[in-house]
Amino acid sequence: MTTVRREAFGRMPPEQGEGEVEKFVLQSDSVRVEILSFGCIITNLETKDRDGKFSDIVLGFDTLEGYTRKHPFFGAVVGRVANRIANGRFSLDRKDYQLFINNGPNSLHGGAKGFDKVLWSPQVLPNGVRFFRLSPDGEEGYPGDLKVWVTYTLSGRELAINYLAQSSKTTPISLTNHSYFNLAGQGSRDVYDHEFSIEADSYLPVDNTKIPTGEVAAVQGTGFDLRQPVELGKHLQKFHLDGFDHNFCLHQGQDRRLVARVFHPPSGRTMEVHTTQPGIQFYTGNNLDGSLKGKGAATYPKHSAFCLETQNWPDAVNKPHFPNVLLHPGEEYNHTTWLVFNTA
């Protein structure tokens, strides 16, 4: 049985258009999650350890102010296109489009004011909440009026996130949730003692601006082979890696499949990621630097969290051999990701 509660969380600052921000609390016997109508942001996610004790396992802020300032997309839904587009440029139907450049020479996570920085219209469901917004034609440089619905539902140990969209013009689209997890509890020092596995035979090598080179490389015999569980700290040392910020290529198909698993031996917490998406970005919080004050005055140093962002492959709009990222009028973009929390 899931209960859903809504409450006021704050008011948008005048320079960002004012408006009331609401918080939605979804609770089952084993999971409690809090989500804002601003950016569809997951602010809290509490799960049990093996002794039945709840801890909040996502990074974030105590107040709305933290989320309206610059931060690394904590908990937010990002779009229209998650991840990077090279030089913020693409061509469609012989027309060139230029997006806002906000990550080195590239466009990242939707641009200057992506889906993470806007108010959505909420609708309470029996076991969750659905958010809607219309992204107007030309917003952040993207073509077409895009109607978007993001639905969070909680059932027992499973949190489902469904993304649905329709466009009046052909547009690239790739939506994801950008939660930063630490299964030891947010504010814990690092995730080196977490064990990770990702069901992927290949990954995308990137250039020095994090844009895929176009090669689809086999993980076999490399530090990117995570098909069997690895303890992160030891694995980074063994392969002399500074961390991960890479797309892993998943087995194609529209069906739900298990794509990643994380286990934290000290607490017994496990997290499984199931999805219909063709890719997953594994990011180990390499750019966190301890400068942000998070929940309960916690600081978030490098490698103090991980992200598993289900998505289309980065820069797919410029790489025809990558999975199709275009949504045409009359079609529907429809993807779901499921997070399943257990103890071992």
Place of tokens 């997290």: 271
pLDDT above 90 for 17: no
What angle is formed at CA 41 by the lines to CA 294 and CA 165, rounded to 5 degrees?
155
DSSP-derived pairing of the beta strands 245-249 and 307-311: unpaired
CATH tag, 3-343: 2.70.98.10
Average of per-residue pLDDT across 105-121: 95
**Model confidence over 46-83: pLDDT tens digits?**
999 999 999 999 999 999 999 999 999 999 999 999 99
* Mean pLDDT over each residue of the chain, to the nearest integer: 97
The whole-number pLDDT of residue 112 equals 92
Instruction: Give the residue-averaged pLDDT of 208-234.
Output: 98
SS3 306: strand
Of the candidates 302, 304, 298, 278, the residue with the CA atom closest to the CA atom of residue 288:
302
**Residue 89 pLDDT class (50, 70, 90 cuts):** very high
Tokens, residue 107: 């466009």
> For residues 321 and 247, what is the distance between their CA atoms, to the nearest angstrom?
15
Give residue 16's pLDDT band: very low, low, confident or very high (50, 70, 90).
Answer: confident
Is 94 marked as binding a ligand?
Answer: no
Average pLDDT over residues 146-174: 98
Mean pLDDT along residues 132-151: 98
Confidence of residue 143 (pLDDT cuts 50, 70, 90): very high
Mapped onto helix, strand or coil, the DSSP state of residue 106 is strand
Whether 254 shows a pLDDT value over 90: the answer reads: no
Res 18 pLDDT > 90: no
The two structure tokens encoding residue 172 = 């690239």
Q: Please report the pLDDT score of residue 309 as a whole number.
A: 98
The per-residue pLDDT for range 297-339, each reduced to its tens digit, is 999 999 999 999 999 999 999 999 999 999 999 999 999 999 9
Model confidence at 107, in pLDDT bands (50, 70, 90)?
very high
> Model confidence at 8, in pLDDT bands (50, 70, 90)?
very high
CA distances from residue 218 to 26, 88, 225 in whole angstroms, order as listed: 40, 28, 8
pLDDT at residue number 15: 86
Q: Is the pLDDT at 252 greater than 90, yes or no?
A: no
**Residue-level pLDDT at 320:** 96
Q: Please report the pLDDT score of residue 177 as a whole number.
A: 98
Catalytic one among 46, 140, 195, 309? 309
Domain boundaries, the chain: 3-343
According to the model, what pLDDT value does residue 302 have? 98
- Is 130 marked as binding a ligand? no
Against a cut of 0.85, is the pTM above it? yes
Q: Convert the pLDDT of each residue in 265-289 to its tens digit.
A: 999 999 999 999 999 999 999 999 9
pLDDT at 32: 98
pLDDT of residue 253: 81
332 is catalytic: no
CA dihedral 315, 320, 324, 329 (to 10 degrees): 100
Any binding-site annotation on 84?
A: yes
Report whether 180 belongs to an annotated binding site.
Answer: yes
- State yes or no: is 309 an active-site residue: yes
Averaged pLDDT, 107-119:
95
Annotated catalytic residue: which of 109, 178, 235, 303?
178
